[in-house]
Every structure is written in C-alpha cells, then in structure tokens.
Structure 1
C-alpha cells in the first residue's frame, strides 16, 4: 500500500488530501467526505481497507484538519464547499468517481449531486443530514431519552449561552455515548481529532451543539429535490444513530432505486463501531453498481 499526500488549490486557500493506493488498482476511485463541518478526515482513515482494487482518497475541507489556514467567516458557506468538492475532483483528475459522505459530508454530497455533475458512479450517504430542521427535531426527541438532570443542564446552558462550560461538555458526553459512538475511542485519536477541528467553522455553519442549530445551515433541507438524484445511492446509519433510522429510511425512500442498510450495534460512528461490516457493505454496493453500469 502506498500513500500520497499533498495540497490542492481551491477557492479561499489550499486543501490537504491523502490518497491510498495499491499496486494494480484500476477500479473507479472512492472519494470520502468527512463530517463536521469544521472536522477532519482522520477518523475515516479506517476506510483504507477499501483500497483493494481502487484508490481511496480523503481530503480535509478548507479551514480544518491539515487544511487549516484562512479564518474568513465568508468562506464557511455550503455553496463554497460544493465548489471546493468540484475543484478537488478536478485537481486529482477524478473524471469518474464513487463518493462517500459521512454526516455533514452527506449534506455536501447531496448538494453536489444536485448540480448534476458528470462521472459520479455511486453515492454513499453515511448517517445522513439532509434536512437541518428534521435533524433538530430528531435530536430534541433523543435528548428526552437522557436522564432529566442531564437534559436540564443542556437546556439551561444553551439558554444562558454557556455551552463552553465543563458541565455542558459533560452532559454532551452523555449524549455522545448513546447516539454518536457507543464504543471507547482511543484517547490519542480523540485528542488529535480535537486538535485538528475548527469550532469557528462548526459554530458558523451549524451552532453550539448537535441539537442547537443556529448557523447558516439552519434552514437547509434538500428533501424536496432528492428525487432528482439519479446516481445509484446507498444510505447507511446505526440503530442508535442521531441520524435516526426513521429519517435515514425516509431520505432513502425519496431517492430513486436507492438502498438502505442499518448497523444494529452502532450509533453515529458505524465505520468505527462495526468496521468490518461497514467496509463489506460499502464494498459490495460499489461492486454491484459497477457491474450494473458496465
């Protein structure tokens, strides 16, 4: 296995990419869009295992990960990130490509597909966020499953604007254990992911927490246009996902001829909670689509 790293010029700066290759790879590459916004591709590097026969490519979106640099809030807009995705494809010569988006990465993926790009052979929507209002509704419902004292802390801190307090972070930790990742994450990985993140991007586009949507994505909802997506699509989520099975199934029902898979032992981090099944399901889907297209 060989790894190539570098930078690509995009609107507003440069983004870092990581391309995983094996000798003899000749199948259509897979491009991975990380969650966030303002996060990095680091946790998704577990998908290196998909680089058997095809290249797997990650990039850190502008402003976060190894692509940190500009701090202009005007750059943190969905349309610019869609433009950036096209520039990454062009910069890497990805005339034909499979694309996997996770969480916010699915917001980006759907928005990109709705521009009707050529050459996208398949799309994987992993723990999708395709309607911010629906996400907020689901999060509010999940919040009510937490202990009452935890709910009270979260509500009070959000009302008081003290979402940077230690008690709020601890309460959010309780939410995360149930609905984001149900296994222990290596402390070094967690620390590195925090270091690579950019809360300015997250707060500008989303808000102070998973369920407090106040950013410029607050009104985002592409469900009325999902029927326009003609790319073969796979929808994934965990049984305990904050991207709930009910919403994921609904989104899938709106995309013609799409498929759905639910990971029974996972929350929002299926790729690290059930990594072997995740890699198998994604690989089988891409292979099946490739045979159909050919």
Structure 2
C-alpha cells in the first residue's frame, strides 16, 4: 500500500500544498510530478494518477498551484500577479523543498501548457507528457468554436444570448455550458466525484480561473487569451515527449499538433472514446499508456 505524505512548502508569503505518494515497494524509477489544469482547478481530479506509484514503483507528486485548492489564496491580488512566471517559480520552489532533482513531468490541460513553459525556459525533465493541452489559445478558441457549432441550436442560442449580456451565472447559460462539458470535457454524467471536488473548490474562489481564463472552457476572455508557445517549442531539446489527447477532446487536434511538430522527437497518442479528462474516463488505459512511456525513459 502506497504511503501518502501531505505538506506545505513555503512560497511567496504563503505556501504550496502538496501530496507525495511513495510506492509500497520502492525502485530506481524516477518520480513523476503532475501539474493540474484550469488554471485554477487544483489537483483533486488528478488524484487517481497517484496509483502509478504502486503500478510503476515510483513516487508521484501532486500539488495545488498557488491560489488554488489547499494552497494559499490571494483573491485580492492584482491581475498582473497571476502570470506564467509565478507558476514557473512555484514549481521550482517546490522541487527544491522536496529535494527532487531528476523527474518525469506530466501536465494536464493548463498543466501541459505550464509543463511546456518550464521546458522552454530550461527545465530538462527525464520525460515530458503533455496531456489534453493547446499550444496556443488562438487555436484553442478556433477548436472550441468548431465544437460549439455542433451543439444543438437552442444550446448555441442560449450561450450567445448570455455571453452578449454578460449573464454567465444564469441557470440557462450554466445548463448550456454543461451540455458542452459532457460532450468534450468529461463524458460522464454525473461527473466523477474527484472532478466535482475540483469544480467546487474553483467555484469557492474562482480568482485564478476567471482572471486567466474566463467564465468557462470555451469563452476565454481572461489574460491568457493571447497566450502561445508555438514559436518557442524548438527550444525544447533532448526531452522525450508524449502528447496525449482524447478523441472528443475540447483540445482538438489543431490545438496540440504544434507540440508534435515543434518538439523534436515528440510522439502522440489519442484515446478513443475519450474527451478532455481521459484519465477519468479510461483510468486504467490512461495509466497503462503513461506508465509505459515513463518506464521507457527512466534510464
């Protein structure tokens, strides 16, 4: 049975909450560090990835990024406080606190974007798994528009009406949003409890999500709306990279293909029948694919 250690690592004038899961039978396998999405969703919905500890004999680290979940919140912070550099600095600070130097890095959704930013800025993990992530928000919005056009007419009209009016909390708008989510975010209704837990903590303090993203996954009006890493991907060198996505993912192929094209040697894997949260929809298959990739690059 894996051993779970939870703690708080000092960061800024607060702390980063983390969960370190150590395998029952340790091995020489390198640790896996997991970056959650959102931005602002916290790590709850990724907790089943901790099963990779016993399945692959490696430590697994999950943590709630600053402003999220069980880490320090700063709802009063100015908009420019929340930027990529904050989360880059936090990641390095946590690794120093835990004494982890060489490790695999997996990022899901926004976490994959952050993982790519870390690699572009000089981090050389043993491997890089970019899961369900866009290489630019312009491409993300284009893909979302294509998926949105496939929604029922009354759903599209409800979205358009409330976005024009700014009434994003109206029950009709939330219901229309849910229709998009069960098609392209988590294809389970009701959503898994871990996902509901992440949604609940984000709703309790939506500062990070609303500031960087916007009211939901496809109406991106936050400060990250112009984010892109496409032209910088060639700076990632000598890092084995797997790009993963779901067949029905809101991260459509046009959003993640630049990672495959731009990172030397990168490969891709599409989980059939899955959407944005492949690890929740097909957890065993997701961990099998990721586990095999990690073991391939442990040396």
> Does the CA-based 8 Å contact 2:16-2:64 persist in structure 1?
yes
Q: Does 1:157 align with 2:162?
A: yes
Look up the SS of the partner of 1:54 in the other structure: coil
**Equivalent of 2:211 in 182, 185, 204:** 204
Q: Given the alignment of the two structures, is residue 287 of structure 1 paired with residue 289 of structure 2, yes or no?
A: no
Who is 1:37 aligned against? 39
In 2, Cα distance between equivalents of 1:113 and 1:187: 31
Residue 54 of structure 2 corresponds to residue 48 of structure 1: no
Secondary structure of 1:27's counterpart equals coil
Following superposition of structure 1 onto structure 2, how do residues 251-266 of structure 1 map, counting pairs within 5 Å? Answer: 251-266=259-274
Q: Residue 21 of structure 1 contacts residue 55 of structure 1 at CA under 8 Å; is this kept in 2?
A: yes
Q: Distance in 2 between matches of 1:48 and 1:102?
A: 14
* Cα gap change, 1:190 to 1:121, in 2 (>3 Å): closer
Q: Give the TM-score, by structure 1 length.
A: 0.94
> SS in structure 2 opposite 1:287?
helix
1:14 aligns with 2:18: no
**Whole-Å separation in 2 of the counterparts to 1:25 and 1:185:** 38
Alignment of 1:227-266 (within 5 A): 227-230=234-237, 231-266=239-274
For residue 92 of structure 1, what is the aligned residue in structure 2?
Answer: 98
* Alpha-carbon contact 1:223-1:251 (below 8 Å) kept: yes
Rounded Cα–Cα distance in structure 2 between residues aligned with 1:192 and 1:213: 22
Give the aligned CA root-mean-square deviation in angstroms. Answer: 1.5
Question: Quick one: structure 1 residues 133 and 12, their matched pair in 2 at CA, closer, same or farther if it must change by over 3 Å?
Answer: farther
Residue 69 (structure 1) shift = 2.6
Alpha-carbon shift at residue 185 of structure 1 (Å): 4.5
Shift of the alpha carbon at 1:188?
A: 4.4
Counterpart of 1:109?
115
Give the whole-Å Cα distance in 2 for the aligned partners of 1:64 and 1:247.
25
- For 1:161 and 1:19, the matched residues in 2 are separated by 41
Change (3 A) 1:114 1:276: same
Question: Which 5+ residue runs of structure 2 have no aligned equivalent?
Answer: none
Partner of 1:278: 286
Pick the aligned partner of 2:29 from 22, 27, 30: 27
Question: Offset of 1:235 from its aligned partner?
Answer: 0.4
> What CA distance in whole angstroms lies between the structure 2 residues aligned with 1:275 and 1:15?
27
The 3-state SS of whatever aligns with 1:28 is coil
Q: Distance in 2 between matches of 1:102 and 1:201?
A: 16
Flag as ranges the 4+ runs of structure 1 deviating above 6 A.
none
Deviation at 1:247, TM superposition (A): 2.8
Once the two structures are TM-superposed, the CA of residue 78 in structure 1 deviates from its matched residue by 1.4
